[in-house]
Amino acid sequence: MQRTIKTTLLLFVMVSLIPVSSYADDLVEYDWGIYLGSHYTGSVDYYPRAGEYYRSNFEIRPEVGLNYIGTRNDKMLKVNAFYYDDKRMYLNAEGVGGDTWSAKLSYRSFFHRTPHDLLENMTAREAVDPEHNTPGGKTTTHQDYVPGAQFGYASHQVASEAILNLIKNDENEVKLYAAHKSIIEHGDKQVISTSHCFSCHVESHRAEVDLYTHNFMGGIEGSMGPASLAYEFGYRFTESRVGASQRYFDEAQHPIQGNKKEEFGSRLIYDDTTLAVEKQPETEKYSHTAKIKTDLPFGALAGSFTHARATNKDYGLDTKSNGGVARLFSRLSRRISFVGNFSASRIKDDPYFVDLPLWREDRPGGGQDFDYTRYSSLTRTYFSGSGEVIYNPSIRYRLSLLAGYKSNKRDDFPIQDAEYETETLFGQLTVRYRPSSKFSGSMKARIEQTDNPFMTVGKLLERRMNGVEDPITGNGFVYYFQREDYKYGDATQLPTMSQQLQFQLRYRPARKWSLVGGLRVQLDKNDDLNTIDFEKTVLQPSLSTTYVVNPSWSLYGNFTHLNESLNAPLAVALFDG
């Protein structure tokens, strides 16, 4: 595939280099430039992080660049390409044929290093009698099968678009358009997996990356006088062309009682076997969108409706969504406008039945069935509506006031049929002020009040179990799953009240000197949790200046500071399981 891409691009460059052939009366102009150079990359100490997007090869490598631009009558071709190395290059090409057609093609690639987790913290053994440092059975161990390996992948992105105007005159317009974008990632990565067949053993392996994502979009748009209609089709699919990484999962043993596979193995879905890990499913997504826009005597109205279906092809799972958006612009007076936004959508994810082996089958008190149907947290109904009044007393001032409401009702989160609904009211005031060419400023203040933000509901803490209230026949142990009924406590980083304030001032004391200062402040709070009072503050001032000393000298400088603080619970069960 990469060879095909490179060959195609090379051919494209060669074709584009051919001077535009001309006829006697044609108006032909073209310019081109070529860059020939080289680079040397070196490093000191550990370079993969400093050179996250570079390859340190200690060699001199050639570079080639090309610029071409040419016109003939009403046609134009532009090509801009650069080769840095075989994993880093770009090409941009654009063609225009009068007002009839236009097309664009772009390609870019870069190399990205990803870090290597050494897993050095993954070593532990319990002390069953800490006072006498007596070793116990629970352990965590790790094995890095690729020590010293450096991981990374080359990302190749190819995009194209074409527009063909079938009809174009003062009154009517019909155009076809199509676009495509592919992202190909090729290289390697670290795959970490854990076997806890008795104690935990974490392994690190190298895995090949060969991931393909393709997006296609096409549509037709027609305008008749003040109204326009459009239909758009979208398709996306992703596939990995290498098999999933495999690892061996240990034979089950009881961590304390030793080699009793029947006791511990009967709690596991699999052991003593080699299985795939970190396998991403092949996926696709279709979308169909109809759009409408019309000018109105007092403004304009635009709307769309989309039906989409995303599929996990490995398991035939679908996410279906239907939704619409409408926007109304109304000029209430010469200086006052109103913008209304409305959207509603329904997203439904397929449920999936998870079939599990019986728990501790043939063991005392065992045989429980943990099969269940997974209902998705994605299944939901969404609605939002907002109105914005914009007041423009003159070009120098703008003031807008926005208010809105949005709701997100989830069918099956946190539990099936619970209909957990998040509702948000928001308001925003924006002021922009430009009294002179020397000075301008803007301010945005936003407040959001949310009921039931997305959170972990009732899972953070555990009530004390006074013995085992519902003991398993045959033994008095407390098993992990029995704690589920004793859980409570909500947790989230999402606020019930969020206040944001943003300023920016631009000042030009002299023609040669400009200053821009900004400040962002955010205060988030959630005191509705039954665990902690969550608070988050963000303070981000920035300052930038440019000074043109004379036509030969120009200087600039920027400073930005970010201070973000927040709190969270640290909860742990007191349980010797």
Answer yes or no: are the C-beta atoms of 163 and 106 closer than 8 Å.
no
CB of 37 to other proteins, least distance (A): 2
- The smaller minimum CB distance to other proteins, of residues 6 and 398, is found at 398
Binding segment toward other proteins, per CB under 8 A, in 1-9, 10-18, 112-120: 112-120
Query: Binding to other proteins (CB under 8 A): which residues in 118-137?
Result: 118-130, 133-136
- The smaller minimum CB distance to other proteins, of residues 6 and 432, is found at 432
Whole-angstrom Cα distance, residue 203 to residue 213? 29
Whole-angstrom Cα distance, residue 534 to residue 496? 9
Identified binder of other proteins from the candidate list 16, 193, 496, 498, rule CB under 8 A: 193
Query: Binding to other proteins (CB under 8 A): which residues in 230-289?
Result: 232, 234, 236-238, 240, 249-250, 253, 266-271, 275-281, 283, 285, 287, 289
- The smaller minimum CB distance to other proteins, of residues 6 and 459, is found at 459
SS3 readout for 361-399: CCCCCCCECCCEEECCCCCEEEEEEEEEEEEEEECCEEE
Amino acid sitting at position 119: L
- Which x/- pattern over 380-419 shows residues binding other proteins (rule: CB under 8 A)? x-xxx-------x--x--x-------x-x----xx-----
| 522 part of the interface to other proteins, by CB under 8 A | no
Query: Binding to other proteins (CB under 8 A): which residues in 446-475?
Result: 454-456, 459-465
Side-chain half-sphere exposure of 495, counting CA atoms within 13 A:
18
Applying CB under 8 A, what is the total number of residues that bind other proteins? 235
| 9 part of the interface to other proteins, by CB under 8 A | no
- Which x/- pattern over 330-359 shows residues binding other proteins (rule: CB under 8 A)? -x-----x-x---xxx-x-xx-x-x-xxxx
| 150 part of the interface to other proteins, by CB under 8 A | no
Answer yes or no: are the C-beta atoms of 147 and 93 closer than 8 Å.
no
CB-based burial label for 416 (10 Å; 0-12, 13-18, 19+): middle
| 363 part of the interface to other proteins, by CB under 8 A | no
CB of 501 to other proteins, least distance (A): 14
Identified binder of other proteins from the candidate list 368, 438, 451, 509, rule CB under 8 A: 368
| 481 part of the interface to other proteins, by CB under 8 A | yes
Query: Binding to other proteins (CB under 8 A): which residues in 163-182?
Result: 181
CB of 23 to other proteins, least distance (A): 12
CB of 260 to other proteins, least distance (A): 14
Among 359, 436, 424, 356, smallest CA distance to 395 is for: 436
CB-based burial label for 542 (10 Å; 0-12, 13-18, 19+): middle
CB of 61 to other proteins, least distance (A): 10
Task: Say whether the peptide bond before residue 414 is cis (omega within 30 degrees of 0).
Answer: yes
Query: Binding to other proteins (CB under 8 A): which residues in 32-51?
Result: 32-51
Residues in the chain: 577
CB of 8 to other proteins, least distance (A): 21
CB of 7 to other proteins, least distance (A): 23
Side-chain half-sphere exposure of 53, counting CA atoms within 13 A:
6
CB of 553 to other proteins, least distance (A): 6
- Token duo for residue 376: 């998705």
3-state secondary structure of 234: strand
Query: Binding to other proteins (CB under 8 A): which residues in 78-97?
Result: 78, 92, 96-97
| 23 part of the interface to other proteins, by CB under 8 A | no
DSSP state of 252: P
CB of 238 to other proteins, least distance (A): 4
Tokens 């550990």 belong to 46
161-165: list long-range contacts, CB under 8 Å, 24+ apart: 161/103, 161/104, 162/101, 162/102, 162/103, 162/104, 163/101, 163/102, 163/103, 164/100, 164/101, 165/99, 165/100, 165/101
Identified binder of other proteins from the candidate list 298, 405, 439, 575, rule CB under 8 A: 575
CB of 455 to other proteins, least distance (A): 7
